[in-house]
C-alpha cells in the first residue's frame, strides 16, 4: 500500500511539474510572429505618391497628382487631385521645393494630415 501511495504521489507531482513548465514556456516562433504583427498594425502605414508641386509654404507644400497615380476610381480621370503635405523636423528633402517641379513623396497619415517623411524633387 505504501508503494501505491508513493507511485501516485510521484505521478501527480510529475504531471504538475510538466503542466507548470508547459504553461510558462516562451512563445513559439509562430506565436511571436502573430504578436509582432498585431502590435505593428497600429503603426502608421507609409505611402508614396508622385506629382508636380503646386504651392510651397514654410511648413507645408501642395502636390498636384494625376488620376493614374492615385488609383482612386471614384473621381473623373481628367480632374487632377491635390494633396497637401506637412513638413516637420524629421522630413528629409532631396532637392529644392519649387512650384512646377516634379516630386516623389513618401508620407504617413497622422491626425488627419499627410506628414511628409521624405521628398525627392526632380526638375
User: Which is more confidently placed, 11 or 75?
Assistant: 11
Greatest alpha-carbon span in the chain: 96
| Residue 45, φ and ψ in degrees, nearest 5 | -85, 135
Q: Where exactly are the structural domains of the chain? A: 2-40, 46-122
Cα(103)–Cα(84) distance, integer angstroms: 13
Residue 6 has pLDDT above 80, yes or no: yes
Residue 41 has pLDDT above 60, yes or no: no
Share of the chain above pLDDT 90, in %: 46
Pick the CATH number of 46-122 from 2.40.50.320, 3.40.50.150, 2.60.40.1530, 3.40.50.300: 2.40.50.320
Q: Which three cell numbers stand for residue 70?
A: 492615385
Confidence band of 70 (pLDDT split at 50, 70, 90): very low
Residue that the C-alpha cell 500500500 belongs to: 1
pTM comes to: 0.57
Alpha carbon of 103 to those of 7, 46, 53, 69, 94: distances in Å? Answer: 77, 16, 7, 12, 9
Taking only the tens place, the pLDDT of each residue in 44-61 is 689 999 999 999 999 999
Give which of 61, 64, 80 is closest to 72, Cα–Cα.
80
Handedness of CA 65, 66, 67, 70 (dihedral sign): negative
Share of the chain above pLDDT 70, in %: 71
pLDDT at 96: 92
Amino acid at each position: 500500500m505504501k508503494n501505491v501511495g508513493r507511485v501516485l504521489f510521484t505521478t501527480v507531482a510529475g504531471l504538475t511539474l510538466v503542466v507548470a513548465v508547459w504553461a510558462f514556456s516562451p512563445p513559439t516562433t509562430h506565436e511571436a510572429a502573430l504578436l509582432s504583427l498585431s502590435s505593428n498594425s497600429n503603426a502608421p502605414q507609409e505611402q508614396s505618391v508622385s506629382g508636380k508641386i503646386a504651392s510651397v509654404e514654410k511648413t507645408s507644400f501642395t502636390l498636384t497628382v494625376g488620376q493614374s497615380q492615385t488609383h482612386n476610381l471614384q473621381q473623373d480621370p481628367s480632374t487632377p487631385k491635390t494633396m497637401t503635405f506637412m513638413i516637420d523636423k524629421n522630413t528629409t528633402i532631396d532637392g529644392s521645393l519649387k512650384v512646377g517641379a516634379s516630386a516623389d513623396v513618401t508620407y504617413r497619415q497622422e491626425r488627419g494630415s499627410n506628414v511628409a517623411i521624405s521628398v525627392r524633387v526632380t526638375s
